[in-house]
């Protein structure tokens, strides 16, 4: 189980995330849904230890993330799919990532296949479409077969086929016992993808439940 307790981030005296707590169960896909600027990225960054909370903590399987033996093997993280190297091929980028994470490089062609980039592995990342870069980011997150996937806007900018393929991957990850948390600012993206929606507005969770219940109660 992935747990967040009272996660709070204050920038320049202003809380941008305030007292966010939740528990995520294995086998589920949860969406963090809220408008731009609501605090989704900051929360995901705090969950993974990339941004230090002003207050609050997160745990996975009862361990504070600072005690994770190798964070890359606990959580696969996709934060900014554009932050990859344009001159390098997708395959060589993943090979380097695999070596750094201590994963056999034979895994690279497996993940390229899993995300539907088998034919594009030899192409330069600079020539990838946005959807391909999102899928490459997802491939990178999947390299270590982590139990937890934390994905910032993984569906943003994808065409309908890209949306379907990411959706299937996330559902399969959960069906295999994984825990998935993705963020989105588009309600229609998380419909059919997430079992549960955490709605965030102005840095606070304002609703929590299956999307259908949240929509019908408004
Ligand atoms: P979202 O992911 O929901 O779009 P963010 O978490 O990126 O929201 O941002 C929440 C708020 O915090 C925004 O107002 C943003 O400008 C601000 N913010 C994010 N990161 C920083 C930072 N490092 N320093 C100052 N303000 C920040
Ligand atoms: P911390 O080290 O406190 O976790 P970050 O690494 O998230 O902070 O951000 C470092 C600095 O980058 C912030 O103090 C801020 O000046 C700047 N910054 C990054 N993102 C934003 C943003 N969205 N809005 C405003 N400032 C930002």
**Residue 23, CB half-sphere, CA atoms under 13 Å: how many?**
4
Ligand nearest to the backbone CA of 13: 1
- Ligand 1: residue whose CA is nearest its atom 14: 37
Helix or strand holding residue 57 (H, E): strand 55-60
Average pLDDT over residues 10-16: 97
Distance 188 CA to ligand 1 centre (A): 23
- Ligand 2: residue whose CA is nearest its atom 16: 11
Q: Is the CB of 92 under 6 A from ligand 2?
A: no
- Ligand 1: residue whose CA is nearest its atom 22: 11
Dihedral (CA of 38, 43, 45, 46) sign = positive
CA dist 212 and 200 (Å) reads 16
Distance 79 CA to ligand 1 centre (A): 13
Q: Is the CB of 216 under 6 A from ligand 2?
A: no
Q: Considering only CA atoms, which of 2, 33, 34 is closest in space to residue 150?
A: 2
Q: Is the CB of 217 under 6 A from ligand 1?
A: no
Give the pLDDT band (50/70/90) at residue 67: low
- Ligand 2: residue whose CA is nearest its atom 24: 11
Residue 51 CA: which ligand 2 atom is closest?
A: 4
Query: 72 by DSSP, 3-state: which?
Result: helix
Average pLDDT over residues 102-117: 94
Q: Is the CB of 11 under 6 A from ligand 1?
A: yes
58 near 74, Cβ under 8 Å?
no
CA dist 173 and 177 (Å) reads 7
Q: Considering only CA atoms, which of 29, 7, 25 is closest in space to residue 17?
A: 7
Ligand nearest to the backbone CA of 42: 1
CA dist 22 and 96 (Å) reads 34
- Using a pLDDT cut of 90, give the percent of the chain over it: 60
Whether pTM > 0.90 for this model: the answer is: no
- Ligand 1: residue whose CA is nearest its atom 12: 16
Q: Is the CB of 198 under 6 A from ligand 1?
A: no
Residue 66 has pLDDT above 90, yes or no: no
CA dist 55 and 75 (Å) reads 21
Average pLDDT over residues 173-198: 92
Residue 52 CA: which ligand 2 atom is closest?
A: 4
Q: What is the mean pLDDT of the chain?
A: 89
């Amino acid at each position: 189980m992935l747990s967040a307790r009272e996660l709070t981030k204050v920038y320049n005296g202003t809380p941008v995330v305030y007292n966010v707590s939740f528990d995520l169960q294995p086998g589920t896909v949860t969406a963090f849904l809220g408008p731009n600027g609501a605090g989704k990225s900051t929360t995901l960054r705090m969950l993974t230890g990339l941004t230090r909370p002003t207050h609050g903590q997160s745990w996975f399987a009862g361990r504070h993330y600072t005690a994770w033996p190798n964070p890359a093997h606990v959580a696969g993280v996709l934060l900014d799919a554009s932050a990859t190297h344009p001159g390098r091929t997708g395959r060589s980028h993943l090979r380097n990532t695999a070596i750094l994470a201590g994963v056999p490089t034979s895994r690279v062609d497996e993940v390229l296949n899993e995300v539907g980039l088998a034919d594009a592995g030899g192409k330069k990342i600079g020539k990838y479409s946005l959807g391909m870069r999102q899928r490459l980011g997802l491939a990178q997150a999947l390299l270590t077969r982590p139990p937890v996937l934390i994905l910032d806007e993984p569906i943003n900018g994808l065409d309908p086929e890209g949306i379907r393929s990411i959706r299937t991957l996330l559902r399969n990850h959960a069906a295999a016992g994984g825990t998935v948390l993705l963020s989105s600012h588009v309600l229609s993206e998380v419909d059919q993808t997430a079992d549960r929606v955490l709605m965030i507005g102005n840095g606070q969770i304002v609703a929590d439940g299956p999307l259908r219940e949240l929509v019908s109660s408004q």
